[in-house]
Amino acid sequence: DANPFYLLTMITRQYRIMVKVKDAASSGGGNEYDIAKLVGESPYPVKKALQQSRQYKIEELDAIMERLLETDYAMKTGADPETAIDVLVAELTQRNR
């Protein structure tokens, strides 16, 4: 099984990139290469994040980032990490239905 802390880190990274990319794109950031330079990421993850971020309003992404922070805090202060990740993933997948 994968380490729950690693999974949370990777999930958080993906959503963080989506927030940065969506913000840059809404400010007229240009194509994925321009946005990649602007946000300090490689063009390929930026291209994917642009596609994924179209499913969300910026407010939804902000709420997800808050939920990721809550999960991180819970895992570091006594919650069972595997259960916390399971609940988080269930919540995130329900948002997209």
Residue 14: count of CB within 10 angstroms of its CB:
14
- CA 72/CA 87 separation, integer angstroms: 12
pLDDT at 88 over 70: yes
Report pTM.
0.88
Residue-wise pLDDT tens digits, 35-63: 999 999 999 999 999 999 999 999 999 99
CATH, range 4-95: 1.20.272.10
The 10 Å CB-count burial string (b at 16+, else e) for 39-57 is bebeeebbbebbeebeebe
Residue ranges of domains in the chain: 4-95
What's the pLDDT score for residue 41?
92
Q: Is 87 exposed, middle or buried (0-12, 13-18, 19+ CB in 10 A)?
A: middle
Mean pLDDT (the chain) is 92
